[in-house]
């Protein structure tokens, strides 16, 4: 199968034939023209990825042809070739939109490399345009599903804050869609063509967070074998999303505050101040105001981050959206898994509406994906939902139905025993992998490590 289409235009027959053979061997589809007017006729009938054109041709010179080609097909790459090297002509050709300029006689490997690089650059630009369009479509506000009153109020707020530079704090339980909202804000803002960079503050060891955020110089510490940019540099003119911001260590809170105040920072081991223009969107599933009162989070940083707060409601408080979300996920996974499932039975929908969804929208998404994978009928049935839901602790009404004896109980001991039991079960299910066990229990890795040490369970987990 041929690759890109190339038009070779040269008044010398031997040069046309040589380039025709050489380029076809490289796998390109080649067309030939002997003069400028022929180039334009071919360019009107077809779209060429690249035109390799002599600057001096009969009937119409190369510069004139270049101008008209760029009007007909702006995306076509034009490379000029000539036996008459002239800096002025080269500059003129480049100003008119030529990609490059080579002189005869040229080396075969040289022209191959120039063509390959030009086409790779064009393909990359095309892929980036398509990718950006897909991303924008995916994170349009319309793709945040919900019709209940508090979601309608949320859409209104998002449309107001997206065009601004204001820092935003997104709060809500795990699984409510905080990152989705952060991306929607970015991709509907003037920064949409700039980077969106994410850091989960609870997933990075404390010793590495500064380097991750601000970068480091070669030799700054043992493993710093090369100078590295941090996320703030990568996000310049764009947005940085700091998830689980409550887990940021106090020392890093001070350094983050300085970036917010001064718009500059130093790399680890560096002396140069680096200035950036970054919008910060942070998120937490914890009560940051309580953390401020308990001195676990800096008050001045909290006010800098919390200029506008967006609170995402848990799914149990927007039950009227459960059916909308379920149908949305059903369509997605039916298509992805090539299943002919077109709806949800009334009984299955009733099962969903009677569930509290402690994992919120993310849990509903997982439930629907699992049910679609297992379902063999044209609609989702209760059977493939109940098999999951019945395993969940919150569906078992008697889980905490404990009697209190007449002489009372040691509440702290009971809670500790329950906590230890759940830790052991989580580790057992994840084969000792602490990060996965933490995700299963919906706690961050640092909190998991603390609890394992508290109950002497480190030996039951990996590192």
Q: What is the mean pLDDT of residues 400-411?
A: 67
Q: What is the mean pLDDT of residues 133-154?
A: 71
pLDDT at 398: 42
pLDDT at 431: 80
Q: What is the mean pLDDT of residues 436-446?
A: 87
Q: What is the mean pLDDT of residues 347-359?
A: 87
CATH architecture for residues 145-313:
3-Layer(aba) Sandwich (3.40)
pLDDT at 1: 41
Shortest CA distance to 309 belongs to which of 142, 200, 178, 190? Answer: 178
Which CATH class, in words, describes the domain spanning 5-132?
alpha beta
Average pLDDT, the chain: 85
Q: Worst-scoring range by mean pLDDT, 169-178, 225-234, 357-366?
A: 225-234
pLDDT at 104: 78
pLDDT at 397: 41
CATH architecture for residues 318-395:
Orthogonal Bundle (1.10)
Q: Which two tokens stand for residue 101?
A: 């300029």
pLDDT at 387: 64
How confident is residue 396, by pLDDT bands cut at 50, 70 and 90?
A: very low
How confident is residue 126, by pLDDT bands cut at 50, 70 and 90?
A: low
pLDDT at 221: 83
Residues whose CB is less than 8 angstroms from the CB of residue 429 and which lie 6 or more positions away in sequence, other chains included: 437, 440
Between residues 393 and 282, which one has the greater pLDDT? Answer: 282
- What pLDDT, in 10s, does the model give residues 144-175? 888 888 888 888 899 999 999 999 999 999 99
Cα within 13 Å of Cα(321), Cβ side? 22
Q: What is the mean pLDDT of residues 417-446?
A: 85
145-313 and 318-395 share one fold:
no
How confident is residue 139, by pLDDT bands cut at 50, 70 and 90?
A: low
**Rounded-to-integer distance, Cα 400 and Cα 10, Å:** 85
- What pLDDT, in 10s, does the model give residues 180-194? 999 999 989 999 888
How many residues are listed for the chain in this entry? 463
Residues whose CB is less than 8 angstroms from the CB of residue 215 and which lie 6 or more positions away in sequence, other chains included: 227, 228, 229, 230, 232, 233, 267, 268, 270
Domain 411-460 has CATH 3.30.1360.120: no
- What pLDDT, in 10s, does the model give residues 270-305? 888 889 999 999 999 999 999 999 999 999 999 999
How confident is residue 435, by pLDDT bands cut at 50, 70 and 90?
A: confident
Pairing status of strand 228-229 against strand 239-243 = unpaired
Angle, helices 62-72/36-45, rounded to nearest 10 degrees: 10
Percent over 70 (pLDDT), the chain: 89
Percent over 90 (pLDDT), the chain: 39
Q: Which of 119-128, 346-355, 397-406 has the highest mean pLDDT?
A: 346-355
Question: Domain spans of the chain?
Answer: 5-132, 145-313, 318-395, 411-460
Q: What is the mean pLDDT of residues 122-149?
A: 66
Q: What is the dihedral of CA 349, 355, 357, 361, to 10 degrees?
A: 10
Q: What is the mean pLDDT of residues 60-89?
A: 81
Overall pTM surpassing 0.85 (yes/no): no
């Amino acid at each position: 199968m041929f690759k890109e289409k190339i038009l070779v235009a040269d008044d010398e027959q031997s040069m046309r034939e040589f380039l025709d053979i050489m380029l076809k061997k490289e796998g390109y589809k080649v067309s030939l023209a002997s003069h400028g007017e022929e180039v334009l006729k071919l360019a009107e009938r077809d779209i060429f990825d690249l035109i390799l054109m002599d600057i001096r041709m009969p009937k119409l010179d190369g510069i004139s042809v270049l101008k008209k080609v760029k009007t007909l097909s702006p995306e076509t790459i034009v490379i000029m070739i000539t036996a008459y090297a002239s800096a002025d002509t080269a500059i003129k050709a480049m100003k008119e939109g030529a990609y490059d300029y080579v002189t005869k006689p040229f080396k075969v490997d040289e022209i191959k490399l120039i063509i390959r690089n030009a086409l790779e650059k064009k393909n990359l630009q095309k892929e980036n345009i398509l990718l950006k369009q897909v991303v924008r479509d995916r994170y349009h506000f319309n793709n945040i599903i919900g019709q209940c009153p508090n979601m309608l109020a949320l859409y209104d707020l998002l449309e107001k804050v997206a065009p601004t530079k204001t820092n935003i704090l997104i709060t809500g339980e795990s699984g409510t869609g905080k990152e989705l909202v952060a991306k929607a804000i970015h991709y509907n803002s003037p920064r949409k063509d700039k980077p969106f960079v994410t850091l989960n503050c609870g997933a990075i060891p404390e010793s590495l967070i500064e380097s991750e955020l601000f970068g480091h110089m070669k030799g700054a510490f043992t493993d710093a074998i090369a100078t590295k940019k941090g996320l703030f540099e990568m996000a310049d003119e764009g947005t940085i999303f700091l998830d689980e911001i409550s887990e940021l260590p106090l020392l890093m809170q001070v350094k983050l505050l300085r970036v917010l105040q001064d718009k500059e920072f130093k790399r680890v081991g560096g002396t140069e101040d680096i200035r950036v223009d970054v919008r910060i969107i942070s998120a937490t599933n914890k009560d940051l105001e309580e953390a401020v009162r308990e001195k676990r989070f800096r008050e001045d940083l909290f006010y800098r981050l919390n200029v506008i707060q967006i609170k995402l409601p848990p799914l149990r408080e927007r039950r009227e959206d459960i059916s909308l979300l379920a149908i949305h996920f059903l369509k997605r996974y039916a298509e992805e898994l090539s299943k002919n499932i077109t709806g949800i039975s009334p009984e299955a929908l009733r099962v969903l509406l009677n569930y509290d969804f402690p994992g919120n929208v993310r849990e509903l998404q997982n439930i629907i994906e699992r049910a679609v994978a297992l379902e063999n009928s044209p609609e989702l049935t209760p059977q493939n939902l109940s098999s999951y839901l019945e395993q969940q602790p919150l569906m078992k009404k008697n889980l905490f139905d404990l009697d209190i004896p007449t002489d009372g109980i040691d509440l702290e001991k009971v809670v500790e025993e329950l906590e230890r039991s759940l830790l052991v079960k989580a580790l057992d299910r994840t084969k000792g992998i602490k990060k996965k066990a933490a995700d299963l229990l919906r706690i961050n890795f640092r909190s998991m490590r603390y609890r394992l040490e508290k109950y002497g369970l480190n030996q039951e987990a990996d590192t």
